[in-house]
Amino acid sequence: MAATADVVVAGGGVIGTAIAWRAAAAGLDVVLVDPEAGDAASLVAAGMLAPVSEALFGEQALLRLNLLAVGRFPAFAAELEQAGGHQVGLRREGTLAIAYDPSDHAALLRLTAFRRSAGLDARELDSGQCRGLEPFLTPDVRGGVLFPGDWSVDSRRYAAALRAAARAAGVRMVRDRVTGVRPGHGVGVRLAGGDDVGSGSVVIAAGWASGAITGLPEPLRAVVRPVKGQLLRLRHPDGIPPVLSRTIRATVRGADVYLVPRADGEMVVGATQEERGPDRTVTAGAVHDLLRDAMSVLPVTSELILAETCAGLRPGTPDNGPVVGPAGPGGLLFAAGHYRNGILMSPVTADAAVAWLTGQRPAAEWEPFTPQRFLAEPATAGARTSKEAG
């Protein structure tokens, strides 16, 4: 059956669902299409909101966007909890980065000097101070750095809350796959089930698979690639109190591992970073390496229950930045490529998308991250209603 809407969003991960919710809250009639196969990266993610510990040499523009994102998160989360009636598990205890051996420590201090030079709050701690904050850490820890501005959210609860809020705001959910943007310049989509949805605007938010949708400008179809991440979910046995009170990011003999505690007793251990195309298998070697590194810094990890192993596909891009903004004439918007920080960036992505959909200017931090950097011709998007689209 053909349907119409002001906006069709292709993809129901945190990016597409946040956009759908905010667009509906802004008064637009929204259809959200997702096959709901459970393979969204959003359901695998650790949920770190980590602009500081993710800040790397040469990525200053991305850092500015991530700082905007973390600043926006608390108010967005509070409104979301109220709108959908779900708690999202936002934790603001900060993140402790620790180093296991002398060369890990030297590398951490180099990065810390860079992060401080960018004006970020990074507090150096010796081994005893690290263990004062987290008593279960191994005494072998060389030292660490506390990042008070890096938080976390329970990504699965957050995704569920977004869906609930989107539904409550009137978003219509369609369980299908978008195969193409309809010819006629972004005025509607074609679904795998054979139906069309006509709309004033189309938002492509299908994560790493966004490029499979036909009708997009060709250069954009090749921009987002899958970057595999394997990750473990551990649980505390009944009666055992939490072994961590904040996120730990450790470098262990050159390898990075993070441990993210949740309020409900879950602890996430991640993650690999692999260029293997769309492969979501979990390997024995990855489980072994993650547990080995986690146990090196937090030996009590061995007492926890291995509840789940999983793999997800981050939407990576050539410059590690997201690709958000007008992607062609007639209300076609692209919102994908959030790579390692899609949970963090979902609120500000929704803000920017709604700004473009309603003819407003998004925050200046988005300027370096529009599709224009991959497209030769300038594009425009703006509000058009389904009636205008015909």
Ligand X SMILES: Cc1cc2nc3c(=O)[nH]c(=O)nc-3n(C[C@H](O)[C@H](O)[C@H](O)COP(=O)(O)OP(=O)(O)OC[C@H]3O[C@@H](n4cnc5c(N)ncnc54)[C@H](O)[C@@H]3O)c2cc1C
Interface ranges with ligand X (CB under 6 A): 10-16, 33-35, 37, 39-42, 44-48, 177-178, 205-207, 209, 212-213, 229, 231, 270-271, 312, 314-315, 336, 338-344
Tokens of 267: 């602890």
Q: How are the residues of the chain apportioned to helix, strand and coil, as percentages rounded to the nearest 5?
A: 35, 25, 40
Give the shortest CB-47-to-ligand X separation in angstroms: 5
Residue 1 DSSP SS3: coil
For the chain, give the number of residues.
Answer: 390
Report residue 133: phi and psi, to 5°.
-80, -40
Tokens of 252: 């262990």
* CA torsion, ordered 302, 147, 77, 29, to nearest 10 deg: -100
Q: Based on CB atoms, which residue is closest to ligand X, 127 or 346?
A: 346
Give the shortest CB-315-to-ligand X separation in angstroms: 5
The residue type of 198 is G
d(CA 251, CA 257): 6
Which residues are 143's β-sheet partners? Answer: 99, 126
Q: Based on CB atoms, which residue is closest to ligand X, 14 or 381?
A: 14
Q: Which of 63, 145, 56, 61 is nearest to 97 (CA)?
A: 145
Q: Which of 149, 299, 141, 109 is nearest to 133 (CA)?
A: 141
Give the shortest CB-276-to-ligand X separation in angstroms: 12
Cα separation of the two ends of the chain: 16
Give the shortest CB-12-to-ligand X separation in angstroms: 5
Give the shortest CB-18-to-ligand X separation in angstroms: 8
Give the shortest CB-139-to-ligand X separation in angstroms: 28
Report residue 29: phi and psi, to 5°.
-90, 115
Give the shortest CB-258-to-ligand X separation in angstroms: 8
Output the DSSP codes for 59-85: -HHHHHHHHHHHHHHHHHHHHHHHHH-
d(CA 341, CA 354): 20
d(CA 220, CA 356): 18
Q: Based on CB atoms, which residue is closest to ligand X, 240 or 307?
A: 307
Residue 301 DSSP SS3: helix
Give the shortest CB-239-to-ligand X separation in angstroms: 29
